[in-house]
Amino acid sequence: MTAQTLNTFHLIPRLERQAHEHKGHAGKVLMIGGAPGMAGAILLAGRAALHAGAGWVILDFVDERAISVLSDQPELMLRVAQVGDVAQIHPDVIAIGPGLGQGNLVKQLLSEALQSSALLVIDADALNLIATNPHLLSQLKARSSLSTVLTPHPGEAANLLKETTEQIQSNRELAIQKLVDLTGSIVVLKGQHTLLHAPEQSMQVCLRGNPGMGVGGMGDVLTGVTSAILAQGIRHGLNAYEAACLAVELHSVAADNLLNQGVGPIGLTPSEVLLEVRNLINIK
Ligand SMILES: NC(=O)C1=CN([C@@H]2O[C@H](COP(=O)(O)OP(=O)(O)OC[C@H]3O[C@@H](n4cnc5c(N)ncnc54)[C@H](O)[C@@H]3O)[C@@H](O)[C@H]2O)[C@@H](O)CC1
Ligand SMILES: Nc1ncnc2c1ncn2[C@@H]1O[C@H](COP(=O)(O)OP(=O)(O)O)[C@@H](O)[C@H]1O
């Protein structure tokens, strides 16, 4: 199979806000992550979701101590992650993984998310947990088609397929096909020339982006942007595969635009990229 080049910006007008709309039309995103030492990952994902247009963003932190020190974005609703709380707030989208860590509590939170009817974005350690836990994998496979987006980097893809990172990188198209077959989900295989694929969808490749993006937190921003576009797409006529494709292109083009403005590649930050994503979505 040969991937088609991603070309999604014609979808942006569908996100336009009509005069009568309120935050419910932009959707509610719940994000779960932020284990000790990695609160920044979920904060970045949350800030990205906010700047990419989600109506509400709620962050559930695994590390309760993190909440008291994170005050630079008061629009975000911050909670301590607790089993049983996931479904309570009826999110449109749940993103789980950024800085999540592993362990029993986290496993239960992931299991709860997998059973939810919300759209799901699964990243980082949530992918690693699925890779080592057949029950979680079977819960993932039981979800309805095109309701889940997985965003592995090549290391996480290797864990899921029980291969090496080198094997993944040596044939990325084959790897993403195997990931779709394994999980029945929308898969975003990150790295240079990010690939997207899903059951009964055509494979897409993103030719934008640059090596300035190779910095901790850049994938967390993609998780946030993807969640926000999924959430807005529900009431703006974008399906989950279109939303994932648009998010990947926005993220990469934002990084390229910054480069063209003289920002990076060395020292380009995820926080700058998420602001440029907002600029791109609002261009008429
Ligand atoms: N501010 C924060 O709190 C941050 C927390 N983070 C969290 O830290 C945890 C560990 O994540 P990491 O992904 O950094 O570490 P991992 O150990 O999961 O993955 C890194 C390895 O994956 C492979 N890999 C990744 N991208 C690749 C590419 N493009 N090409 C080839 N190989 C590639 C390489 O083998 C690399 O050594 C995650 O939970 C993550 O969310 C990171 O997102 C960075 C920022
Ligand atoms: N050389 C590159 N060219 C294009 N995109 C890149 C390059 N390096 C990294 N990226 C992108 O940056 C992001 C890095 O995500 P990830 O590896 O999950 O980082 P983190 O876990 O630290 O947030 C991905 O979207 C990836 O596609």
Instruction: Give the strand order in the sheet containing 148-150.
Output: 4-5, 204-205, 195-197, 186-189, 148-150, 119-122, 93-96, 28-33, 56-61, 77-80
Question: Six-digit token pair at 202?
Answer: 């055509």
Cα distance between residue 207 and residue 279, in whole Å: 20
53 marked among binding-site residues: no
| Complex confidence, ipTM | 0.95
pLDDT digits (tens, 9 = 90+) for 21-42: 899 888 999 999 999 989 999 9
Name the residue with the closest Cα to ligand 2, atom 18.
219
Cβ contacts of 104 within 8 Å, gap of 6 or more: none
**Gap from CA of 24 to ligand 2 centroid (Å):** 31
Domain count, the chain: 1
pLDDT digits (tens, 9 = 90+) for 133-173: 999 999 999 999 899 999 999 999 999 999 999 999 999 99
Question: Does ligand 1 lie within 6 Å of residue 152's CB atom?
Answer: no
The answer to whether the CB of 119 falls within 8 A of the CB of 147 is: yes
**Closest ligand to 215 CA?**
2
pLDDT of residue 210: 98
- Of 155, 162, 153, 95, nearest in space to 134 by CA: 162
**Gap from CA of 216 to ligand 1 centroid (Å):** 7
Task: Kindly give the number of the ligand 1 atom that is closest to the alpha carbon of 214.
Answer: 29
Question: Six-digit token pair at 34?
Answer: 């932020």
**Closest ligand to 189 CA?**
2
The one-letter code for the residue type at 151 is T
Question: Six-digit token pair at 155?
Answer: 């290391």
**Gap from CA of 194 to ligand 2 centroid (Å):** 9
Task: Kindly give the number of the ligand 2 atom that is closest to the alpha carbon of 221.
Answer: 23
The answer to whether the CB of 162 falls within 8 A of the CB of 205 is: no
The one-letter code for the residue type at 26 is A
Q: Residue 99: which CATH number?
A: 3.40.1190.20
Q: How confident is the model at residue 190 (pLDDT cuts 50, 70, 90)?
A: very high
Domain membership of residue 33 as a residue range: 4-282
pLDDT digits (tens, 9 = 90+) for 213-265: 999 999 999 999 999 999 999 999 999 999 999 999 999 999 999 999 999 89
**Gap from CA of 25 to ligand 2 centroid (Å):** 30
Please determine, for residue 284, whether its predicted confidence score (pLDDT) is greater than 80: no
Q: How confident is the model at residue 201 (pLDDT cuts 50, 70, 90)?
A: very high
Task: Kindly give the number of the ligand 2 atom that is closest to the alpha carbon of 211.
Answer: 1
pLDDT digits (tens, 9 = 90+) for 39-88: 999 999 999 999 999 999 999 999 988 887 666 788 898 999 999 888 78
Cα distance between residue 67 and residue 103, in whole Å: 20
